[in-house]
């Protein structure tokens, strides 16, 4: 009996883990999913530098790439992030053109993410962070 109870708990844990860790985290019985960190970052492509600063605040670091290009580096941490999360936006002529991140969870907290159509593809990062000297 104890074995069956443990097996049931393990099964429930695995099912919940699969739902939580799914990059698209669809809402049961819905045509919607929660947006990911990638969705949120990608939404800034084409936005002005000023809009980015208004929403994300001052970056921890600014790296000048050329006379008209720079990257903004944001580092985030909270009790749920073990590695640390680095999010980076490239700004070309005062417009956000690329983004990337490393060490970030798929999403930080559902309350910070809106529902979007389930068939919306999760965007791929457009900035290769390995080219930046951190």
Query: Tokens for 9?
Result: 């708990």
Query: Tokens for 133?
Result: 């000297």
Strand ranges (DSSP E) for the chain? 32-34, 61-64, 69-76, 85-92, 95-102, 115-117
Q: Which residue from 18, 30, 39, 40 is spatially nearest to 118, judged by alpha carbons? A: 30
130: Cα separation from own chain's centroid: 18
Give the lowest-confidence range in 21-35, 50-64, 74-88, 103-117.
Answer: 21-35
Q: Residue 86 pLDDT > 50, yes or no? A: yes
The values of phi and psi at residue 88, to 5°, are -130, 135
Confidence of residue 117 (pLDDT cuts 50, 70, 90): very high
C-alpha–C-alpha distance, residues 90 and 65, integer Å = 9
Cβ count near 63 (within 10 Å): 15
Where do the domains of the chain lie, and which CATH numbers do they carry?
A: 2-128 (3.30.1450.10)
Report pLDDT for 66: 94
Q: Residue 116 pLDDT > 70, yes or no? A: yes
């Amino acid at each position: 009996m104890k074995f069956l109870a443990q097996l049931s708990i393990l099964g429930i844990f695995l099912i919940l883990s699969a739902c939580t860790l799914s990059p698209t985290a669809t809402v049961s019985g819905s045509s919607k999913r929660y947006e990911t960190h990638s969705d949120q970052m990608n939404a800034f492509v084409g936005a002005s530098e000023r809009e980015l600063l208004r929403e994300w605040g001052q970056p921890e670091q600014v790296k000048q790439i050329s006379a008209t290009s720079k990257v903004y580096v944001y580092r985030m941490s909270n009790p749920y992030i073990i590695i640390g999360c680095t999010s980076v936006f490239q700004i070309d002529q005062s417009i956000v053109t690329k983004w990337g991140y490393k060490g970030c969870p798929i999403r930080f907290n559902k309350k910070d993410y809106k529902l979007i159509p389930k068939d919306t593809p999760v965007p791929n990062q457009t900035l290769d962070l390995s080219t930046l000297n951190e």
